[in-house]
Amino acid sequence: MAPAPAARPSIGVHVGPGLTDENELDDGGPLARAAEMDADGVQVFLADPQGWTAPKPRPDADALREGDVAVVVHAPYVLNVATTNNRIRIPSRKLLATHAEAAAAVGALGLVVHGGHVLAKDDPAAGVDNWRKTFARQAETGGFAVPLWIENTAGGGNAMARDLDAIARLWEAVGEFGAGFVLDTCHAWAAGWDLATAVDDVRAITGRIDLVHLNNSRDPAGSSRDRHAPLAGGEIPTELLVEVARAAGGPVVLETPGDAAAHAEEVAALRAALSA
Ligand SMILES: [Zn+2]
């Protein structure tokens, strides 16, 4: 038997929603952007990332769901299901479920959501328990419509998913519900992780990495700052980023700054580095 060819690593790019104000496709939308960049996947927001609006049905939902471009949805940044503030936590839970349904409508592999945080005066254990309740309550009605993938964050005290020991406490609560994990290299660097061992360190806790957000950083290690940089244009050695993607062995999404031409170059360079 001939040896199976090595699977082509799926390299996606975060793109704009690609819709006009009238909710019509703008310049071909995300699928046109993927073609332009020769990307295997796209990550999109389905509503304002800084707001509380629910996603609208998309005119390209069928094309996204039925096409061969992998789709990942990122939940709005404002969501915080960990917080002890009811006026944030309760709408966060509702909107998270709504986004998961909208993500299913476009055939998303998963819904990325930040780990969130509690207030400085709070015990982080309360945030962990709020995460557990988020999954437990949703499980009563059949669970989320797509897998929920929790992303590590760059900074902030009392964050649920900044440090590895915090992630370990979170996973004791959410692991049983099938929570997935997104490793963001810029955020891990900002939090002072050793990227040479990050994939193994995370897997030892979660048993899984569902997606890598492969981003360089404009700031030094341990800065707690979340300023993404191009793969070959930041403080993290590019070879180290390639090794993270190789070690994780699964889909990658670039959230790097730059236009479509710059992203096309990054996709091609990363694809070449991973197949070398
Ligand atoms: Zn990210």
Ligand 1 geometric centre to CA of 188 (Å): 10
**What's the CA-to-centroid distance between 70 and ligand 1, angstroms?**
17
Q: Give the Å distance between the CA of 255 and the centre of ligand 1.
A: 7
211: left (phi over 0), alpha (psi -120 to 50) or beta: beta
CA distances from 8 to 121, 269, 273 (A): 47, 14, 12
Please count the other Cβ atoms lying within 10 Å of the Cβ belonging to residue 198.
24
Count: domains in the chain: 1
Amino acid at 128: V
Distance 209 CA to ligand 1 centre (A): 13
Q: Ligand 1 centre and the CA of 213: distance in Å?
A: 5
Task: Give the predicted TM-score (pTM) of the model.
Answer: 0.95
User: Each residue's pLDDT tens digit in the chain (276 positions)?
Assistant: 555 555 678 999 999 999 999 999 999 999 999 999 999 999 999 999 999 999 999 999 999 999 999 999 999 999 999 999 999 999 999 999 999 999 999 999 999 999 999 998 999 999 999 999 999 999 999 999 999 999 999 987 799 999 999 999 999 999 999 999 999 999 999 999 999 999 999 999 999 999 999 999 999 999 999 999 999 999 999 999 999 999 999 999 999 999 999 999 999 999 999 998
In a domain, 274, yes or no: no
In a domain, 267, yes or no: no
First CA to last CA distance, the chain = 23
- 184 Cα: distance to centroid of ligand 1 (angstroms): 5
Crossing angle (nearest 10°) for helices 124-140 and 164-174: 30
Name the residue type at position 267.
V
How far is the centre of ligand 1, averaged over its atoms, from the C-alpha of 4 (Å)? 32
Ligand 1 centroid to residue 119 C-alpha, Å: 22
Are the beta carbons of 144 and 178 closer than 8 angstroms?
A: no
Residue 147 lies in a domain: yes
Residue 206 CA: distances (Å) to CA of 54, 61, 76, 123, 211: 30, 32, 23, 22, 13
Ligand 1: centre distance to CA 180 (Å) = 14
95-98: which pairs have CB atoms within 8 A and are 24 or more residues apart?
Answer: 95/52, 95/54, 96/134, 96/144, 96/148, 97/138, 97/144, 97/145, 98/54, 98/55
Residue 152 resides in a domain: yes
82 within domain boundaries: yes
Q: How far is the CA of 63 from the centre of ligand 1 (A)?
A: 25
- CA 187 to ligand 1 center in whole angstroms: 7
pLDDT at res. 202: 98
The answer as to whether 269 is a domain residue is no
Give the domain extent around 126.
Answer: 11-261
- The answer as to whether 270 is a domain residue is no
Can you give the CATH number for the domain in which 154 is found? 3.20.20.150
CA-based torsion, 132, 134, 139, 143: positive or negative: negative
**Cα 90 to ligand 1 centroid, rounded to whole Å:** 24
Query: 253 CA distance to ligand 1 centroid (A)?
Result: 8
Inside any domain, residue 76: yes
pLDDT for position 9: 80
Helices in the chain by DSSP H: which ranges?
29-37, 61-66, 86-105, 124-140, 164-174, 185-190, 198-206, 238-248, 260-275
How far apart are the CA of 79 and the centre of ligand 1, in A? 15
